[in-house]
Amino acid sequence: MQRSSEEGGLQTVRVSSWNELQEELFADSWNAKIGRFRSHHAFRGLSDARYPLATTLMRLGGHFAELERHLVRNFRKYAHGSVVEQDQLWNWVSVAQHYGLPTRLLDWTNSPYVALHFATANVTRFDVDGVVWVVDYTGVHQQLPQTLEAALEREGATIFTGEMLSREIATFEEMTAISDEPFAVFFEPPSIDPRIYQQYAFFSVVSDNRMAFDDWLRAHPEFGRKIVIPAELKWEVRDKVDLANINERTLFPGLEGLCSWLRRYYSPSPTLLASDPSLSPPNDYDHGA
């Protein structure tokens, strides 16, 4: 197992085996106060270790920071009124993110195995290293502006709900004005779809919508780290995560998730392709409409 630090002091761990991966994923999960293993970490898996923690809003390009309010305003205008039970900013943005609108939210999970799924779901990226980001959200919340930190303390909570956050921050402008320094918040969305609770999902949001979360972490490296999964380890990780019943069929309930799982599950392995290259899928045919 190799350990290194990126620019800004952010720790990177490169594992070399499944057992080392388990040790890293569950490190610091013991809670002495309650005598239980209860992690206070957020996990995010990516198929390529080089990918930044950029939001879908940032990936939109152009003048994305200024376009955000127009995107959300028009989503609220055209979306059916029954989509959101409570007319609150963070519920609306959660629903919009869920249905594919570019937003400043970033998806995370409480489950390290769900993160491993997303790090190894794309078999076309098995030639590059994957990564699981691990973030201590209780530490992140210690850097919150006083009003937000006090709101968590009043609730006896370690993470916001969308409703709690909306009581403190009702608009994007309020989020910008509450502090001169960028801050990050984790919150749980409403369970509008089985995918959310099946994936043990929640979101992060940075007060400055132009800042990627990894850039915020590099200014606060004590709260985050990267676990790099070497390309040569990905097939073993993928197969063992499947054996743990963490896959598209369970994380994306419905026929779409079922078909995605079956398509990936029955894809030929590198060993099979090495023994018979003719089994490789064609890449030069017309996909059609």
Lowest mean pLDDT among 47-61, 98-112, 241-255: 241-255
| Percent of the chain at pLDDT exceeding 90 | 64
pLDDT over threshold 60, residue 287: no
Q: From CA 136, how far away is CA 198, in angstroms rounded?
A: 21
Contact 228, 11 (CB under 8 A): no
Q: What is the pLDDT of residues 5-42, one digit of tens each?
A: 776 688 999 999 999 999 999 998 888 888 888 889 99
Q: From CA 215, how far away is CA 217, in angstroms rounded?
A: 5
Lowest mean pLDDT among 82-91, 129-138, 264-273: 82-91
pLDDT for 59: 95
One-letter amino acid of 246: I
The reported pTM is 0.88
Q: From CA 187, how far away is CA 165, in angstroms rounded?
A: 7
Q: What is the pLDDT of residues 104-136, one digit of tens each?
A: 999 999 999 999 999 999 988 999 999 999 999
pLDDT for 86: 65
pLDDT average, residue stretch 137-157: 95
pLDDT over threshold 80, residue 192: no
pLDDT for 224: 96
pLDDT for 263: 85
pLDDT average, residue stretch 250-256: 84
Contact 143, 236 (CB under 8 A): no
pLDDT over threshold 80, residue 194: no
Contact 154, 134 (CB under 8 A): no
Q: What is the pLDDT of residues 200-227, one digit of tens each?
A: 689 999 999 999 999 999 999 999 999 9
pLDDT for 83: 62
Q: Which residues contact 144 (CB under 8 A, 6 or more apart)?
A: 152, 183, 185
pLDDT over threshold 70, residue 90: yes
Within the chain, residue ranges assigned H as helices are 18-25, 56-60, 64-78, 89-98, 112-120, 137-141, 146-155, 162-168, 172-177, 194-198, 213-219, 234-243, 248-251, 255-265, 270-275
Torsion angle in degrees (nearest 10) through CA of 108, 258, 228, 23? 80
pLDDT over threshold 90, residue 252: no
pLDDT average, residue stretch 218-240: 96
pLDDT for 38: 83
Q: From CA 166, how far away is CA 176, in angstroms rounded?
A: 14
pLDDT for 278: 75
Pairing of strands 30-31, 41-46: unpaired
